[in-house]
Amino acid sequence: MTHRPIRKAVFPVAGLGTRFLPATKAMPKEMLTIVDRPIIQRVVDEAREAGIEHFIFVTGRNKGVIEDHFDRQAELENILKAKGKHEEIEMLEELLPGPGQTSFTRQQEPKGLGHAVWCARELVGDEPFALLLPDMLTQSNGDSCLKQMINGYNEKGGNIIGVEEVTSEETDQYGVVSIGDGENKCWPITGMVEKPKAGTAPSNLIIMGRYILQPEIFSILKDQREGAGNEIQLTDAMHRLMKVQDFHAIEYEGLSFDCGSRVGFLTANVAFALAHPELRNDFAIELRKLLEGLTHQSKTS
């Protein structure tokens, strides 16, 4: 059976980013850089690699710079041209989605992820779509995370949630799924809960910020009440949709970094620097020096 193709992706970027203040006072957290690219560029790259054709951003206050980032900067291009910086021009060209391939809408008030997704309803229309939370960055040697999920979707159809295994101590910070019998790291989902209290999680598989959803989620979100944290939770709406549609969990193969937290963001910077062909060697030398200093300090203290 063939399933309707996934052509559009939604990126909710209207959160406040309070954990990164003061960096995020005037700048969106999605524009913080991981080595030399803003976080949001890396997530859009993941979606493009998976074959996404249209990129929908749900934005909020101070987020205009994201729109500028995905537009041409004619003045800059002219200066680079005059200076003969052809490689830089080509790189910028390669990263830019084509004309008409991006859409922006406003959430107006940060009422929660479920509400942010609902704000994309007119732009998505009546077709299944991908949802990528820029908070989570993925890094894999093979297919990107979303590509792995689209491969699974092409087989199973319905709704797909990307999951990863964490320790029991970490489950209370995320949405957690319970699963039935499956194979090849793909399982039917039997339940889900947002930020379960310590010791009550139904499994160690957390919802890691990548989803493929059917458009029926929008009619559910329309009347979804506030849940955990007094926010409209996507997990609660998916839980209701689960009663009438199939959901599968796919365990992503590769690394992921929770860039919504400062430690995750710093770790992502180190991992992407160590994977950068031009920076890898020099950076590894500096990193080793720092770590040796740390070991020396802990031995002498």
CB of 174 to ligand UTP, least distance (A): 10
Distance CA 33, CA 58 (A): 20
CB of 256 to ligand UTP, least distance (A): 14
Query: Binding residues for ligand UTP, per CB under 6 A?
Result: 12-19, 58, 107, 110-113, 115-116, 133-135, 260
Nearer to ligand UTP, 45 or 77 (CB): 45
CB of 16 to ligand UTP, least distance (A): 4
Cα end-to-end span (Å), the chain: 64
CA angle 230, 233, 234 (to 5 degrees): 170
Nearer to ligand UTP, 135 or 251 (CB): 135
Nearer to ligand UTP, 15 or 157 (CB): 15
| CA distance to 99, 110, 211, per residue, from 119 (Å) | 22, 11, 16
Q: Please, are residues 235 and 219 in contact by the beta-carbon 8 Å criterion?
A: no
Nearer to ligand UTP, 113 or 137 (CB): 113
CB of 28 to ligand UTP, least distance (A): 8
Residue 265: other Cβ atoms inside 10 A: 22
Nearer to ligand UTP, 92 or 166 (CB): 166
CB of 179 to ligand UTP, least distance (A): 23
* CA nearest neighbour of 10 among 209, 177, 154: 209
* Three-class SS state of 132: strand
Side chain identity, residue 39: I
